[in-house]
Every structure is written in C-alpha cells, then in structure tokens.
C-alpha cells in the first residue's frame, strides 16, 4: 500500500490525503521518551516530506507516531517540479529507475528517487495550516515544522539567514513544537553547486540567526550525507552551540537515469535527485552512529534524530539501541502507514 500516487502531481497528492487503515484497537505505549522538554508517547515519527499539510498530519496522527513533521515551508510560494516527481528504483541499483511502478512492492525493500524542488504554499496559507495541524495532535505528540530559506537575486548569506529566521519565527508562532532548519537543500548563491550544510560558515550563520530569533524555542538542523567522519564532526561542533538537536541523514543525492540512460527527471535543476528508502540504510546508519559516538565522547550534548532507510521495525530498534533519541521514517510512512503501530506492538 503506497499512499502517495506517483502518477499524480504533488499538488494533487497534497489535496487528497490518504484513507489510512483504522487505528488498532489496542495500541501499546510507545515506549515514551523525553525529548525537547516534552514527554512523547513513542520515539518513532515521520520526517519532513510525506506530510504536506494538516490533513495528512491528522490522517497519520491517530496511528501512533510520536513525532510528525510538517513538510518544508518557505517565505514565498513555490510550485513543485513538473511530473515525474517520484520514481521507483531498481533493486540493487538505486541510480536506475524502474520502467514502471511495481504492483505489490515490499514496503521493507522499497527504494525510490524523489525530485520535487522543495515546493511550498504561500506563507499565509501554511501558517494557518500549521495551527490546524498542531490542534489535531495529542498531548504526547510533537509537531516539527521544517523551514528553508529562499535565496533572492543579488542576495548573499546574510539575506538567506534572515529568510530562514523569518520562516522559523512564523513556524514557531503558528504552533511548531520544534523548528527544523533544513540545511540539506541546494545553495544556489555560490559558484559551485553544493548543499547548504556543506558550507560550514553559511550553515553556522543560518542557525545562529535562527537561534537569536527564536530564543529558547527548540531548534534542530537537518543534515545530509558528509564525505567523512571528520567532516561530520567539524560541522556538528560548529553548529551545536546554536541547536537543541540534529536530524540526519536526508537521503543521498544521485543522478538517476532510466534503463536506457536517459535522465529520469528531465529539466533544468533536476540533475540530482534524492534517493530514499531501503537501499540507503547502511550509509545513513554509519553517519548517525558516528554522530552518536562524538556525543558519547563528550563533544556536545544534543538530541540526535535518525532518519534514512529505516524501512523495518528492526532498523528502527537498532537506531534507538545505538543511542538515537528518535527514529523517523519517510518512505516507510507512505509504503507502510501502520509502521509505528507495529513498532509499538512488537515490544
């Protein structure tokens, strides 16, 4: 059961929340976890991506997830890329797209490539919608709102940091329990294409500005895959003074082609797509465990939310056992909506 319709546009999917299975009659306790000063009913949650609005969040909230993330929002409205936006990847070859979506995919084995372009509703619209989303969560559930800055023509790092801070403030005012600063998105201001988190100075400027704007409100940073443990340690150490936690890994960036070698996502700015799902787990697990090891060594004390390829209950348990404070899913939420309920029942 894949609740996102790849044959439909992002806008269509956002406007048609899924009809999910009924909440199990007996839903065992999470186990609960203390996080960001709150008691959360379950350490399994949904990362930014699958939940574009309050209707989707409400649909999933009753299924036992402790943390629900409102998809990344901006200070300006932005349409998604034209279709296709999501393609299934060939088993064992995540950079090659399948010719067609499998009829009955195994939720634990799904890997797909996503190319949306970080769309966002108009700020007035999403701010009102975030309020609705928060009102639909239970006492033991946490609403994270993911925000991204939008570079403007002629703008610089200061302009981008201010835009991040503006979105963060709006999100907090609208009811976000935690603001996620999405740094794993393209930096279009530099000469060479790179993700924002790959520029440590720019990332520090952004999270510093967000912290000064929000005061004591919980703030976390979303990171992508780094090339080495040293790079990850240097980045985390640079950002930690401004943050309450980290969330990683935001998928892997790859060139994705069809079986004949033609790009799976044609168009300018779509050379790279985000790979998520089962195939990226080992890569992401190593990065999460590296960050946990630095925390254990006393580098800093911040929450660590694991994400990336967690498509089975066993993987979620392994990440939590390794020391992650929460295990967040994306692909699994769309392919296996009852994931959190099965996690809780398997205790």
pLDDT for 3-45, tens place per residue? Answer: 999 999 999 999 999 888 777 777 887 788 999 999 999 999 9
Which pLDDT belongs to residue 269?
84
Distance between CA atoms of residues 21 and 132, nearest Å: 22
- Respond yes or no on whether the N-terminal peptide bond of residue 265 is cis (omega within 30° of 0): no
Answer whether residue 304 shows pLDDT above 70. Answer: yes
Answer whether residue 164 shows pLDDT above 60. Answer: yes
Answer whether residue 191 shows pLDDT above 60. Answer: no
Q: What is the DSSP letter of 155?
A: -
Beta bridge partners of residue 35, listed in sequence order? 38
Q: Which domains does the chain carry?
A: 27-84+119-253+278-345 (3.20.20.70)
Distance between CA atoms of residues 215 and 170, nearest Å: 14
Mean pLDDT over all residues of the chain?
93
Which pLDDT belongs to residue 268?
87
Tokens matching residue 239: 């950002």
What does DSSP say about strands 326-329 and 44-46: parallel, antiparallel, or unpaired?
Answer: parallel
Greater confidence (222 vs 187) lies with: 222
- Provide the angle, in degrees to the nearest 10, between the axes of the packed helices 157-174 and 200-214: 40
- Provide the angle, in degrees to the nearest 10, between the axes of the packed helices 229-239 and 200-214: 30
Greatest distance between any 2 Cα atoms in the chain: 56
Which residue, among 94, 28, 120, has the nearest Cα to 275 in the 3D structure? 94
Answer whether residue 95 shows pLDDT above 90. Answer: yes
Distance between CA atoms of residues 253 and 197, nearest Å: 13
Residue percentage of the chain with pLDDT more than 90: 84
Q: pLDDT tens, 45-90?
A: 999 999 999 999 999 999 999 999 999 999 999 999 999 999 999 9
């Amino acid at each position: 059961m894949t609740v996102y319709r790849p044959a439909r546009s992002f806008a269509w999917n956002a406007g048609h929340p899924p009809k999910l299975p009924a909440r199990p009659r007996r839903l065992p306790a999470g186990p609960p976890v203390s996080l960001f000063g709150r008691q959360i009913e379950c350490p399994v949650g949904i990362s930014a991506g699958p939940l574009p609005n309050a209707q989707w969040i409400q649909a999933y909230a009753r299924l036992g997830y402790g943390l629900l993330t409102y998809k990344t929002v901006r200070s300006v409205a932005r349409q998604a890329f034209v279709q296709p936006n999501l393609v299934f990847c060939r088993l064992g070859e995540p950079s090659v797209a399948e010719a067609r979506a499998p009829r009955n995919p195994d939720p634990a084995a799904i890997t797909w490539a996503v190319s949306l372009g970080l769309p966002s509703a108009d700020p007035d619209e999403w701010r009102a919608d975030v309020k609705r989303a928060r009102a639909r969560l239970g006492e033991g559930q946490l609403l994270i709102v993911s925000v991204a800055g939008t570079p403007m023509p002629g703008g610089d790092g200061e302009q981008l940091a201010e835009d991040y801070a503006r979105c963060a403030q709006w999100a907090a005012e609208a009811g976000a329990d935690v603001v996620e600063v999405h740094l794993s998105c393209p930096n279009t201001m530099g000469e060479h294409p790179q993700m924002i988190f790959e520029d440590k100075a720019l990332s520090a400027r952004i999270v510093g500005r967000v912290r000064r704007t929000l005061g004591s409100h919980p703030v976390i940073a979303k990171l992508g895959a780094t090339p080495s443990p040293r790079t990850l340690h240097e980045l985390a150490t640079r950002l930690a003074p401004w943050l309450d936690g980290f969330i990683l890994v935001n998928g892997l960036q790859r060139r994705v082609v069809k079986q004949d070698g033609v790009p799976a996502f044609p168009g300018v700015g779509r050379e790279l797509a985000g790979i998520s799902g089962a195939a990226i787990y080992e890569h992401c697990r190593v990065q999460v465990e590296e960050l946990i090891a630095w925390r254990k060594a006393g580098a800093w004390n911040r929450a660590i939310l694991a994400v990336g390829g967690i498509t089975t209950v066993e993987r979620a348990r392994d990440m939590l056992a390794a020391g992650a404070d929460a295990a967040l899913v994306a692909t699994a939420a769309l392919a296996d909506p009852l994931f959190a309920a099965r996690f809780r029942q398997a205790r």
